[in-house]
Amino acid sequence: MRTRRYGSAADQVGDLWLPDGEVPDTGWPVVVLIHGGFWRHQYVRTLTEPLARDLARRGLAAWNLEYRRVPPPDVVIREEDRGGWPATLQDVADGVDRLGDLDAPVDLGRVAVVGHSAGGQLALWAAGRSRLPAGAVGAGPRVPLAAVVGLAPVADLRGGERAGMGNGAMADLLGGGSDTVPERWELADPLGLVGHGVPVLLVHGEDDESVPPTQTAAYADAVRAAGDEVEVFTGPADHMAVIDPVEPLWQRAATWLEERLGVDLRR
């Protein structure tokens, strides 16, 4: 594992995990990992490190991103290190695009993004960047995506706001509610960016009390209505089980990624 920078702020870093063994002729397929935590400062990329290790064991490189997050109101932090609108979204865009100039044996034709919880919102948003208007934060992606996976994703921001999810986390991320800064919500909500053409997998535990499965259902319905490809895996699991490498839902997701990215399953 090697930590690389994609910007000058403290949290603009990612950990690149590479598999053992002979590098494929075109480089390793690579999965960008985006952790959750309702975009709040106290949650960090160690949450998704077990997935990075598992992916590397399976023959997939993993780019485990950190990004600027929203600090508590009583915490003093340098302005350039503060997350929220638009920094958090810009970091994800820059972190994904950084794959294009990493000095590493990765295959830019086989890139997937996987996000958990609030990181699921960021992953699905990354898949929808091609739908953003010119000049919007994250518009004009440089690295095409072959697949995207939302693990218990926050996929419907307005639905989450109505349900009171995260004790105001979405308004904290975007600097106001959907009634006060509606243009930001339109640009950040994955539900409004479907039709991007990236194959989608959604994974959700039926016992999730943090992000209800209705979030996945709403996004899946929107993707189908747009005519794009989506699969949904569900099962008896809570919110954190989907990022546990030994749990069945993650294992199904990892197998889906192996198939989508063309991993040699004989490894």
The two beta strands, 13-17 and 2-5, are: antiparallel
Reduced to 3 states (helix: H, G, I; strand: E, B; else coil), residue 94 is helix
Q: pLDDT grade, residue 93 (50/70/90)?
A: very high
253 vs 246: CA distance, rounded Å: 12
Question: Average pLDDT for residues 103-130, to the nearest whole number?
Answer: 98
Q: Residue 263's pLDDT band (boundaries 50, 70, 90)?
A: confident
Closest of 13, 101, 112 to residue 60, by C-alpha: 112
Judge whether residue 154 has pLDDT over 70.
yes
Q: What is the CA radius of gyration of the chain?
A: 17
* E-only strand ranges, 71-213: 106-116, 147-151, 200-205
| 187-244 pLDDT tens trace | 999 999 999 999 999 999 999 999 999 999 999 999 999 999 999 999 999 999 999 9
pLDDT at 266 over 80: no
Instruction: List strand residue ranges (DSSP E) for 125-177, in order.
Output: 147-151
With beta carbons less than 8 A apart as the criterion, state whether 204 and 216 touch: yes
Tokens 């490894």 -> residue: 267
Rounded CA separation 127/150 (Å): 11
Paired tokens of 217: 């259902």
Q: What percent of the chain has pLDDT over 70?
A: 99
Res. 16 pLDDT band, cuts 50 70 90: very high
Helix 49-57 vs helix 248-261: angle between axes, to the nearest 10 degrees?
50
Q: What's the whole-number mean pLDDT along residues 100-110? A: 96
Q: For residue 178, is pLDDT > 90?
A: yes
* Contacts with 188 (C-beta within 8 Å, 6 or more apart), sequence order: 85, 89, 121, 125, 157, 173, 174
3-state SS, residue 219: helix
pLDDT at 265 over 60: no
Task: Give residue 267's pLDDT band: very low, low, confident or very high (50, 70, 90).
Answer: very low
pTM, two decimal places: 0.97
Write down the pLDDT at residue 264: 67
State the average pLDDT over residues 161-181. Answer: 96
pLDDT > 60? residue 161: yes
pLDDT of residue 74: 83
**CATH tag, 2-261:** 3.40.50.1820
pLDDT at 116: 98
**Cβ neighbour number for residue 265 with a 10 Å cutoff:** 10
117: which 2 tokens?
Answer: 């919880």
pLDDT at 73: 84
pLDDT tens string 37-82: 999 999 999 999 999 999 999 999 999 999 999 998 888 889 999 9
